[in-house]
Chain A
Amino acid sequence: MNHEPHTSHEAKPRFLTTYLFSQDHKMIGIQFLFSGLIFFGIGGLLALLVRLQLAWPDGNLPYIGKWFPQSWGGKMSPEFYTMLFTMHASIMIFFVIIPWLTGTFGNFLIPLMIGARDMAFPKLNMFSYWVMWPAFIIILASFFVDGGAASSGWTSYPTLSNVGAEAGLEKIPAKPGEPTTSYTVFKDDSFNSPAAPGAGMGQIFWLVSLIFVGIGSMMGSVNYITTILNMRAPGMDLMRMPLTVWSLFITAILQALALPVLTVALMLPLLDKLIATSFFLPPGGLSFGNWHTTPGGGQPLLWQHLFWFYSHPAVYIMILPAMGVVSDIIATFARKPMFGYKPMVFSMAAIASLGFIVWGHHMFQSGMDPRLGTGFMLATILIAVPSAIKTFNWLATLWGASILYTTAMLNALAFVSMFVIGGLSGIFMAATPVDVYFHDTYFIVAHIHYVLFMSSIFGIFAGITFWFPKMFGRLMNEPLGKVHFALTFIFGNLTFFPMHILGIGGHPRRYYDPTIYQYLENLQPLNQFMTISAMLLGLTQLLFVINIFYSLWFGEKAGKNPWNCNTLEWDAPSPPPHGNFEQIPVVQRGPYEYAIDGPLDHLTQSSPASEGVKHHE
């Protein structure tokens, strides 16, 4: 069912309803784009501080040293360091990659690519962005609360993260003359935690913020599923949908099923902290120096199961949309039909469904029985099969192609190349005995950055460059885009590839100062090399920001279809008005009719069928 466009009748769209409280899916997508960009900068700066500490752990930092409190002596404190990587990961995952992939691409592209005027629930869609704002404010405020922001890692394993001061007793040493020591209820209104300074108020803020993110994403995913199932243009069968829409559809299903688990699970440590429940406090209680908790009845492993039941599917939430985006961009600029459309769809579905039964591989070192672990191991190792299928199909699409090297295409090709590295390094961890050694070393850090930075972010760069003319009516600057791509590709690899070697050397992650270990001493030059590369990588990203803002006002004006692409969004004007299409297109064929016989080079999905044209079923 499609609604008629309604803004055409309104006299003047006002600023507030157009740019802020917009129910237009395109504006909501663009809002996600810019808030993601801000957090990308914050998360990146946090990462650079982490790298700075790793490269020169004992040196006083020349310029930023004086920003730190005097008691730290011109260095960052170990607690501050743990806060840095915790917030880096949390921000990059929950405020950059997921909002960019599902928020920006999901919102902007789904209605346009399936030929709908808007989302099924435009108001719900607006709320899905607006509940992000409490999350933004709370996560940023958490840097300034007593004890600093959360510092228990983005995984926030209890009991480091959940112990609240209320749950304990303080030991009062025996006074001379008194027979025994006594205990008193620990009175502290500040929610401080004995486990770590950041595990107090900062952790509470972190939990609340993520609950808002969870609610927002859940609203989004319900909207995406409904829209895709009910609002496709006439003729748009499921098997004619572009792979981007397929990937967003599968991602939305993953989110709808997995995210409620995390959102509810986040309540448990919050209750532990606020009203001294003991979901994760073991029966015997805990001791932190002179401070003892009351006996609990919980189990810290519970959190790991709940957390990874969401967070492993979340890894696929953070890569599947990029796979879809990259598939469409590669077919467009290879000027060749996507090789194996159906295997591509089925392999994404396979990745998503296998993704639900592999969470245990994060817990091999938590004391898992090999008989149970074998199941998780086999499922994990099998996920490599659909990933391999996708890679081979991308390569087959490029074989015999007619490649146009645009910035979007280069970023998409980099995605394929980097995803191969990130995928292959995963096989080491799927082999349990090898994983026992690699678990929590830099090998894992290398793997996650090859998947999330080198793959997903390249996919995002490709997508933003590709759909920028549709969003704003202007093309991004190509030479600047290419320089940004080349430098990101080079410095990204120089930053992240040596992490594999560090991991093989046994370098544990999350170390404030690795140099106190003899066996890590000769890895230190690599650490310094990576830090310099990371600084250059960070600087390179300024080019991307400059390009976006430059092109917003001064970019070359784009027509309806600057890339000669087949999918429906290119039928709409650039940028499309509220309501998207002058007339809802009627879909005639699949999205990948490139290199067709006859005088034409390609056939868009909506162009009327003509004689002598070979059709894909």
Chain B
Amino acid sequence: MYRCWGLLFAAVNLAAIGLFAVSPAMGWWLPKNIASYGADIDHLFYLILVATGFFFIVTQGTLVYCMLRFNAKEGVKAMNIHGNTKLEIIWTAIPAIILIYIGFAQTPTWAKMKYIEIDTWFPVRYKGTNIESDLHVTVLGRQWEWRMRYPQGNIPADPQAWADLGNLHDLHVVNELHVWKDAKVKIHLKTQDVIHSFFMPNLRLKQDALPGKIMPMVFSPIEANVRYNPTTKMIEELNPSSTWEIACAELCGGNHYRMRGKLFVHETKQDYERWFAETLKNQRLHESPRLQPIVAAGNGGKP
């Protein structure tokens, strides 16, 4: 009878392992990676999965073994042991070494995500600065949408001032982030009301937008998902499954879940610029005096 408890624990743990085993095949897994540093993140994820998986099997296996093997028997006493210093040292040192290894193994990846150049893996030796970007975009979060602002010529003269104040000739688009393949993109993330978090699962990237601050985000997509068709002047998806979405990851009110955006990665810079020119032309056509204040302000919507 006592065995059923050990077996229950074994069954639950095996089911847990089983779920992890079948999930990738069921499509319940990491979304497709399109970030230049994404492979490093995924690699780190699998490294930790293997390390934790190993300790999971060892500890749960030991527990189940003890439960099956050491039940109370008539006339048999338990061992009288109060501890063992050698064992304590061993099982302190082994996890400590593995954990510190994981700790240092991740620093280059984090630096890569921030586009900081480092010369060694040792964390205190950061020396570089952010690299040059090919494209600047300002993203303004508000309840409940993302407002993107693109500069003419891709790189404004003074990116910081431009992100803060904007320019009359900027292109305004809601919920659509357009970049091109291999572009080094810099997003200036802002919010006009509450904290939002700009989350692009395919880029493995997430950044909170903080009221009163302009938060930088840098990334470079390694794959395209749209093509600009010059005859129809429309964007076409390269294949139907390559919709890359943008979500809000920080609670921002009731419609938090509705801050859905889309990421469009054009195949070339020329494609992006054709889309930009065409969309800007449409914007000029439709600009009414009512919209002018938004264009002019662009500074967090302040009066």
Q: Which residues of B contact A395 (CB under 8 A)?
A: 59, 62-63, 66
Question: Could you say which residues of chain B place their CB within 8 Å of the CB of A336?
Answer: 78-81
Is A577 an interface residue when CB atoms closer than 8 A count as contact?
Answer: no
A29 contacts which chain B residues (CB < 8 A)?
A: none
Please give the distance in Å from A92's CB to the nearest CB on chain B.
17
Closest B residue to A378 by CB, please name it: B103
Given A398-B67, A405-B2, A508-B249, the answer on whether A367 and B55 have CB atoms closer than 8 Å is no
Q: Which residues of A contact B79 (CB under 8 A)?
A: 336, 399-401, 595
B30 touches A195 (CB 8 A): no
Bound-state CA distance A79–B258 (Å) is 12
Q: Which one of A238-246, A308-316, A338-346 is at the interface?
A: A338-346
Please determine whether B30 and A504 come into contact, CB atoms closer than 8 angstroms: yes
Is there a chain B Cβ closer than 8 Å to A45's Cβ?
no
B269 lies within 8 A of chain A by Cβ: no
A77 touches B9 (CB 8 A): no
**CA–CA, A500 and B30, complex, Å:** 11
Is B113 part of the binding interface, using a Cβ–Cβ cutoff of 8 Å?
Answer: yes
Chain B CB within 8 A of A23 CB = no
Q: Does A413 contact B (CB under 8 A)?
A: yes
B residues within 8 A CB of A391?
59
Minimum distance in angstroms from A506 CB to a CB of chain B: 4
A486 touches B80 (CB 8 A): no
**CB closest chain-B residue, reference A392:** B91
| A299 with B212: CB separation less than 8 A | yes
**Residue ID in chain A nearest B203 by CB atoms:** A437
A33-58 residues with Cβ-Cβ distance < 8 A to B are: none
Task: Tell yes or no: A237 within 8 A of B by CB.
Answer: no
A195 contact from B2, B107, B126, B193, Cβ within 8 A: B193
Nearest residue, chain B, Cβ from A513:
B257
For window 133-182 of chain A, which residues contact chain B by CB distance below 8 Å? 151-153, 157-160, 171
Known: A196-B254, A402-B70. A433 touches B40 (CB 8 A): yes
The stretch of B12-20, B171-179, B275-283 that contacts the partner chain: B12-20
Asked whether, in the complex, the Cβ of B19 is within 8 Å of the Cβ of A508, the reply is: no
Chain A residues within 8 Å of B87, by CB: 340, 392, 396
Docked-complex contact A511 and B19, CB < 8 angstroms: no
Whether B60 is near chain A, meaning CB under 8 Å from some CB there, is: yes
Q: In the complex, which residues of chain A have a beta carbon less than 8 angstroms from the beta carbon of B155?
A: none
Contacts of A616 in B (CB 8 A): 82
Taking the complex as formed, is A370 at the interface, i.e. its CB lies under 8 A from any CB of chain B? yes
| A597 pairs with B80, CB closer than 8 A | yes
A196-B71 Cα distance, complex, nearest whole Å: 56
Interface segment, A62-70, A220-228, A423-431, A534-542? A423-431
Q: Are A510 and B206 in contact (CB under 8 A)?
A: no
* Cα-based distance from A398 to B67 in the complex (angstroms): 8
Q: Does A234 contact B (CB under 8 A)?
A: no
Query: A122 on the interface (CB 8 Å rule)?
Result: no
Given A285-B302, A370-B114, A427-B52, A300–B212 Cβ distance below 8 Å?
yes
A441: chain B residues at CB < 8 Å are 249
Contacts of A555 in B (CB 8 A): none
Is B91 in contact with A410, judged by CB distance below 8 angstroms? no
Whole-angstrom distance between the Cβ of B201 and the nearest chain A Cβ = 4
- Would A504 and B207 count as touching, CB distance under 8 A? no
For residue A337, which residues in chain B have a CB less than 8 angstroms away from its CB? 80-82
A561 within 8 Å of B by Cβ? Answer: no
A432 to chain B: closest CB distance in Å? Answer: 5
Cα–Cα distance between A281 and B62 once the two chains are bound (Å): 53
> In the assembly, what is the distance between CA of A301 and CA of B195, in Å?
10
Complex Cα distance A129/B123, Å? 48
Q: Indicate if the CB atoms of B48 and A434 lie closer than 8 Å.
A: yes
Pick the contact of A440: B48, B102, B124, B249 (CB < 8 A): B249
Partner of A519, one of B31, B71, B195, B253: B31
Query: What residues of A have a CB within 8 angstroms of the CB of B197 in the complex?
Result: 365, 439-440
Q: A340-B83, A432-B110 are contacts. A425–B256 as well, Cβ < 8 Å?
A: no
Contact (Cβ within 8 A) B116 A424: no
Query: Please, which residues of chain B bring their CB within 8 A of the CB of A6?
Result: none
- Encoded as 1 (CB less than 8 Å from any B CB) or 0, chain A from 93 to 129 comes to 0000000000000000000000000000000000000
Interface string of A363-389 (1 = CB under 8 A from B): 001110011011001100110110011
A160 touches B116 (CB 8 A): no
Give Cα A432–Cα B110 distance, bound, in whole angstroms. 7
Q: Is B222 an interface position by the 8 A CB rule? A: no
CA distance in complex: A572, B126 (Å) = 62
Q: Are B303 and A511 in contact (CB under 8 A)?
A: no
- Counting from the closest, the 3 A-B pairs by CB-CB distance are A282-B212, A400-B79, A336-B78
Q: Report A's interface with B, CB cutoff 8 A.
A: 77-79, 81-82, 151-153, 157-160, 171, 183, 195-197, 281-288, 292, 299-301, 334-343, 365-367, 370-371, 373-374, 377-378, 381-382, 384-385, 388-389, 391-393, 395-396, 398-405, 410, 413-414, 416-417, 420-421, 424-425, 427-428, 430-434, 436-437, 439-441, 486, 489-490, 493, 497-498, 500-502, 504-506, 508, 510-514, 516-519, 522-523, 526, 592, 594-597, 601, 614, 616
Residue positions of B touching A, CB distance < 8 A:
2, 5, 8-9, 12-13, 15-16, 19-20, 23, 26-31, 37, 40-41, 44-45, 48-49, 51-52, 55-56, 59-60, 62-63, 66-67, 70-73, 76-84, 87-88, 91-92, 95-96, 99-100, 102-103, 106-107, 109-111, 113-114, 116, 123-124, 126, 142-143, 192-195, 197, 199, 201-202, 204-208, 210-213, 215, 243, 245, 247-258, 260, 299-303
Complex A-B: 7 CB contacts under 8 Å: A287-B142, A384-B95, A392-B87, A399-B79, A402-B72, A405-B5, A519-B201
